[in-house]
Homo-oligomer: A and B are copies of this chain.
Amino acid sequence: MAKTQLEFWFEFGSNYSYLSVMRIEELARKADVQIAWRPFLLGPIFRDFGWNTSPFVLQAEKGRYMWKDMERQALKYGLEFRKPSVFPRTAVLPMRVAMLASNQPWIGGFCKAVMRQNFVEDADINDPANVRLALAGLVPEPDEVLAAAQADENKLRLRDQTTEAKNRGVFGAPTFFAGDEMFWGNDRLEDAVAFAASKICISNSSL
């Protein structure tokens, strides 16, 4: 029987996506849930709301609090964290690589490497040199992956996936879907995994 999938919609520029990218694989493995990696761009979603950047930038009070919260949350999860000097960072290039690699066994490793660059090393994640670094050790030919990621067909797939996010009611990242059940935010990752796992149990018992 196929495992129930948990769709993981994320953005490399999103700080709370960082916490989920670093945590989701272990949680999913323990619950025997399969992750479907769903990169999408937050920019077009926010523009639809009439925002030209992150709500954490537009709302200064909320932004100040968010960085404090990030420090505490990272500490709670035992994750390294440094506030990026640029926020939100443009992430189109690594997002395209993630789109291309969604079903590859190295997708998790790549996403963690990019997130570490953004939220620990304070590096420009849209710089091809850094994307190459994130790919190093995961694929034999990083340059070939970069070229394929920049092909028109793959660019279009990422745009289409962003449109799908919008059509399914996604308004921020990270967002998780177990079937049609939507969960928003790193705070709901455990609930989303548990919900997906419970669906497997129901399917099993109905065999």
Report B-chain residues with C-beta under 8 Å of the C-beta of A172. 62
Spot the interface stretch: A29-37, A64-72, A150-158: A64-72
A residues 54-82 in Cβ contact with B at 8 Å: 59, 61-62, 64-65, 68-69, 72, 76
Q: How far is the CB of A165 from chain B (nearest CB, A)?
A: 11
Integer count of this chain's copies in the complex: 2
- What is the number of residues of chain A that contact chain B, defined by CB distance less than 8 Å? 20
Task: Convert A36-54 into 0s and 1s, putting 1 for each residue whose CB lies closer than 8 angstroms to a CB of B.
Answer: 0000000000000100000
Q: Is A171 an interface residue (CB 8 A)?
A: yes
Report B-chain residues with C-beta under 8 Å of the C-beta of A187. 187
Q: Is A127 an interface residue (CB 8 A)?
A: no
Choose one: B61, B65, B169, B188; the contact of A64 (CB below 8 Å).
B169
With CB as the reference atom, state the residue of chain B lying closest to A76. Answer: B191
Q: Is the CB of B61 within 8 A of A169?
A: yes
Rounded to whole angstroms, the CA-CA distance of A206 and B49 in the bound complex is 51
Report B-chain residues with C-beta under 8 Å of the C-beta of A69. 183-184, 188
With CB as the reference atom, state the residue of chain B lying closest to A66. Answer: B184
Q: Is the CB of A61 within 8 A of B191?
A: no
Q: Is A136 an interface residue (CB 8 A)?
A: no
Q: Is the CB of B191 within 8 A of A72?
A: yes
Report B-chain residues with C-beta under 8 Å of the C-beta of A65. 169, 171, 182, 184
Q: How far is the CB of A117 from chain B (nearest CB, A)?
A: 28
A residues 184-200 in Cβ contact with B at 8 Å: 184, 187-188, 191
Q: A49-B59, A61-B169, A61-B171 are in contact. Are A182 and B72 (CB under 8 A)?
A: no
State the A residues within 8 Å of B (CB): 49, 59, 61-62, 64-65, 68-69, 72, 76, 169-172, 182-184, 187-188, 191
